[in-house]
Amino acid sequence: MPRTVLVPIDGSEQSYGGVAYALESFPAAELTSLYVIDAEKEWEIFSGPGLTEDWESQVTELAEKRHDRAETLASEYDTHIERDTRSGSPRKQIIKYVIDHDIDHIVMGRHGESSVSTPFMGQVTEAVIRRSPVSVSVVPLTAREVQSAEWPGAVLVPFDGSDPATDALEYTLTQFESDPVTALHVIEGIGEYDAEGIEGTYLEEQLQKLSEDADELLDTAERLASGHGTEIHTATEYGRAGRSIIEYGTANGFDQIIMGSHGRTGISRIVLGSVAETVARRSPIPVSLVRDVPDSS
């Protein structure tokens, strides 16, 4: 279970959605809001003819106001959130802060203040989830949307038997002991054909083998849950993994998705897998990308 959680904020509604999600999901953790002053960007906003105050003072004042809003949200939960302000490249400063302060988990809004279109992930968020050495939750909701839901709610865990997928399931079973969890395996490899329309074709044998492998993997997930003294639901879907995970999660009313940072084709714990990135980029519900299960000792 995370003990130290960093929540980067930039004034966007979704960044405060990240604050609310962190408050809801990690009530026992030490939370810190981080505002990074991007000098080039802030200078363009605050400098110019007719301004008498030093722009750096204005930026500092703005940072404190944005921290104040995060603190106001924390007060609604009868708790406190630490604050810190840094200067430089936001993506670099966030990662540096995580390393320097032994942060366990990052929670951030999917878009920043300059987001252009709702389905797409902001550049800073994308850079952070690609290179973060710790798990990251990406929140595509505003603070009020988070607060109007029940958390953690129904949790979907994509499962392919890889170490990161196992870590994600372990994390879910440990973090959310009493809430419904579903392990989903997506069968890829039958191309554009409908799984129900291949009977009698050369693909039938291939699909049979893939289905048997899926059953074995989901049996593993159920045994893992049993070891935690709980039961989980399991499901199998066919198609492209990223799209199928999102469609299954939204069509079946899941509240969040928790998955490994990469699957069986991943090459590194530091480099984000393409399926994980697709889900984080496109999912309309929060997505947590787990790199390792935090030590709860």
**Omega cis (within 30) before 286:** no
- Residue positions counted in the chain: 297
Confirm if 263 and 234 have CB atoms less than 8 A apart: no
Quick count: other Cβ atoms within 10 Å of Cβ 233? 16
Fold of 4-147: Rossmann fold (3.40.50)
- Give the model's pLDDT for residue 48: 56
Query: Is 189's pLDDT higher than 80?
Result: no
Average model confidence (pLDDT) across the chain: 86
Q: How far apart are the first and last CA of the chain?
A: 9
Confirm if 143 and 16 have CB atoms less than 8 A apart: yes
pLDDT digits 0-9 by tens, 95-145: 999 999 999 999 999 975 544 334 445 889 999 999 999 999 999 999 999
For the chain, the helix, strand and coil percentages under 3-state DSSP, each to the nearest 5: 45, 20, 40
pLDDT digits 0-9 by tens, 11-70: 999 999 999 999 999 999 999 999 998 866 655 555 555 555 566 788 888 899 999 999
Confirm if 109 and 12 have CB atoms less than 8 A apart: yes
Domains 4-147 and 155-290 share a fold: yes
- Sorted by sequence, the CB contacts under 8 Å of residue 267 that are 6+ apart come out as none
- Give the model's pLDDT for residue 270: 40
Fold of 155-290: Rossmann fold (3.40.50)
At 267, the pLDDT band (50, 70, 90 cuts) reads: very low
- Alpha-carbon separation of residue 97 from 138, 212, 247 (angstroms): 18, 45, 35
- Give the model's pLDDT for residue 228: 92
Q: At what angle do helices 55-75 and 13-25 cross, to 10 degrees?
A: 40
Return the half-sphere exposure (C-beta side, CA atoms, 13 A cut-off) of residue 193.
14
pLDDT digits 0-9 by tens, 203-229: 677 778 888 999 999 999 999 999 999
Query: Is 278's pLDDT higher than 80?
Result: yes
Angle (CA) 276 280 283, round 5°: 120
- 70/13 Cα distance (integer angstroms): 11
Bridge-partner residues for 187, per DSSP?
A: 238
- Residue where the block lists tokens 């990074």: 36
How much is the average pLDDT of 71-75? 98
- Give the model's pLDDT for residue 57: 81
- Give the model's pLDDT for residue 119: 42
Domain ranges of the chain: 4-147, 155-290
- Residue 227 in 3-state DSSP? helix
